Chains A and B, each alone.
Chain A
């Protein structure tokens, strides 16, 4: 009895929170998905109507495609940029202060409140001659003002999220690179290996696990977060940047189809569970959790 009393006592605040804000809401969402709750917020059982609607919704193909583009594009940007930044600031620039300076700079987008960060992007890409990018390109290149936000909406959304996300990969890759014993590099150099060869033959192969970890972790975050898109483009223009989670939010809180919104959210919940299960399989789970050496 005592064996599990103390652990559970120490876990109880966590468990209470989980019950209050994960288990119960999940349960409510499942129930909601089977109602046709609308603006009047009445609970009325409606069977599978919402799930049927998912299959007949004329916008869903576009939204699924957008979600793929958004998640894939951002992930690619995050991993590639995260790695390049980590490599440059940790391996190539051995000078610690400079490395920290650049890494801290890249943390800026992550620590900036989304409301402010998005504002900067909106200013930077604003259409017309008063947009920062338009004004700069007019001065230096003499180019006509472009409607960046309508022409390249998805690209800008990916960039905005990418700048935030790259720092995550950067930190993890940096610590992974630093964990490589310096002797290996020295030995390689004595053997006459070029820097490029060292990067390709030594560092890259060792990045397999960190890259996979970052990818899966961020994949899950990207699938379920929509705050930056909501603030940046609101899903527009037209449906160009509307992704699944944002669509669920819009259906619930703009169209006030709470039932349908819940059904859409539920699909996302199951997708996330499936991917997590996959992640646990990929990463030797038992090694990650090491068992206790007391008791």
Chain B
């Protein structure tokens, strides 16, 4: 009797739970009767302000549907887009959890270095057939490097950027540079005649002349530019043959010394830069409070959004590669292309792949200019929308100089340790050598033996 009553109560609880579940889950799409066509919903997700990353898929789906009609297939593809708000780590966390709950998007747009953990964690499908697809035939070949892990292709590059150094033309003018000298600076950098050290000294000069408050600014958060600097100082980050990351101590030390020097010795960079907000750093560049900016081409789009008219941006700024570390050396830049990855659990891998093939077409690629990004294909670059863009057409040459971060699952941990070291030296809490030791200790603790430690 007692047990029965208890049991009934439990039943009631379970039943009410079930109702709750049913109420919470009202998202199933129902095909309209009159069409009598099977609607296939493909979910696509991205994060951040660049909504065209998923909007392009919606546009490509229209094209796909026309093809499907022509093939006499009785299906309609609908792309359901969503945009994540929050930090990058949160974005990755959500995908992992959603994947476990089988609620993940079919197409997940991420920065390419995430391919490492996505692929080795079994979250995504290899997409090797894309290499054969017509739309990808004239892609910049170097981009395949960015989506390759373990000899397979795991993503479809969707846009491209380069990370040049911005400089204020008006400041150089006031420093007494001639128009020709200013125009020639990017060329001088390209030839290796203007080095990182020259850049620091020029920044200092502008500060001393009272023209700017700061000589050089760089990003306020963890990110690829720091690895770009390390690469510029000769760091090797990854050994593809062994699929292992490399902790290149001499080069990392040089990078830390450089960043330490910027804030502590030369004082051309505010030491608290890593605690600032993006908006604030952008505002400093807009207001002409600094000469150089380790930026990315999409920052032009940020400046416009922050109230600086496009023409004025073009007027006040010019762009150069990251100067070589030594005279006569090679300048570099870094790209961090966003890529579409396909969930390993998707129910429609073929349709998704076809969609990805279509979305690389020049007309969709050209939409990348809306947010200051470059197309991934040569035909995309030739598209009139790109050619008409007075800014992007001047930086396309930088693609030749570009490099990437490695696609390795542990790169997140490595990057985290590197950034901690950078903060420590910039804030003056540690010397570069101390920070290097701490970084090594953390890497050993977090990654263990799965990394090659390259001593001097």
Contacts and interface: CB of A to CB of B under 8 A. Distances in A.
Q: Tell whether any CB of A sits under 8 Å from a CB of B in the complex.
A: yes
Given A40-B122, A58-B442, A256 B412 contact: yes
Interface in A36-55: 38-41, 53
B125 to A, nearest CB: 15
B91 to A, nearest CB: 11
Given A39-B121, A256-B96, A257-B446, A127 B5 contact: no
B445 interface: yes
Interface stretch (A74-82, A200-208, A232-240): A232-240
A28 B149 CA distance: 33
A59 interface: yes
Given A5-B2, A238-B420, A255 B275 contact: no
B423 A58 contact: no
Contacts of B120: 40
Contacts of A57: 445
Contact of B445 (A5, A12, A39, A56): A56
Q: Which of A39, A126, A147, A239 has the most CB of B within 10 A?
A: A39
Contacts of A127: 272, 275-276, 280
Contacts of A153: 275
Contacts of B100: 41
B2 A255 contact: no
A25 interface: no
Given A9-B9, A238-B420, A253-B89, A41 B96 contact: yes
Contact of A150 (B117, B272, B283, B442): B272
A13 B13 contact: yes
Given A39-B121, A40-B121, A147 B2 contact: no
A39 B117 contact: yes
Judged by DSSP, the binding face of B is helix
Chain A contact residues (Cβ within 8 angstroms of B): what range? 20 to 34
Nearest to B424: A238
Given A40-B120, A127-B272, A237-B423, A12 B96 contact: no
Q: Which of A9, A147, A239 has the most CB of B within 10 A?
A: A147
Contacts of B270: 147
Contacts of A9: 5-6, 9
B354 interface: no
Given A16-B13, A59-B442, A254-B416, A39 B409 contact: yes
Interface in B256-296: 270-272, 274-277, 280, 283-284
A102 to B, nearest CB: 34
B396 interface: no
B441 interface: yes
Contacts of B445: 53, 56-58
Nearest to B96: A41
A149 B275 contact: yes
B183 interface: no
A255 B416 contact: yes
B427 interface: yes
A57 B443 CA distance: 10
B220 to A, nearest CB: 10
B438 interface: yes
Contact of B427 (A238, A255, A257): A238
Interface string B87-102: 0011011001000100
A127 B270 CA distance: 11
A291 B356 CA distance: 69
Interface string B219-260: 000000000000000000000000000000000000000000
Contacts of B174: none
Interface of A: 1, 5, 8-9, 12-13, 16, 38-41, 53, 56-59, 126-128, 130, 147, 149-151, 153, 236-239, 253-257
Interface of B: 2, 5-6, 9-10, 13, 89-90, 92-93, 96, 100, 117, 120-122, 270-272, 274-277, 280, 283-284, 409, 412-413, 416, 420, 423-424, 427, 429, 438, 441-442, 445-446
Given A127-B275, A237-B423, A237-B427, 19 more contacts: A5-B2, A8-B6, A9-B6, A9-B9, A12-B6, A12-B10, A16-B13, A39-B117, A39-B121, A40-B122, A41-B100, A126-B277, A127-B276, A127-B280, A128-B276, A147-B275, A236-B274, A255-B412, A256-B117
6 cross-chain pairs, A with B, having the tightest CB-CB distances, nearest first = A40-B121, A147-B272, A150-B272, A150-B275, A58-B441, A254-B89
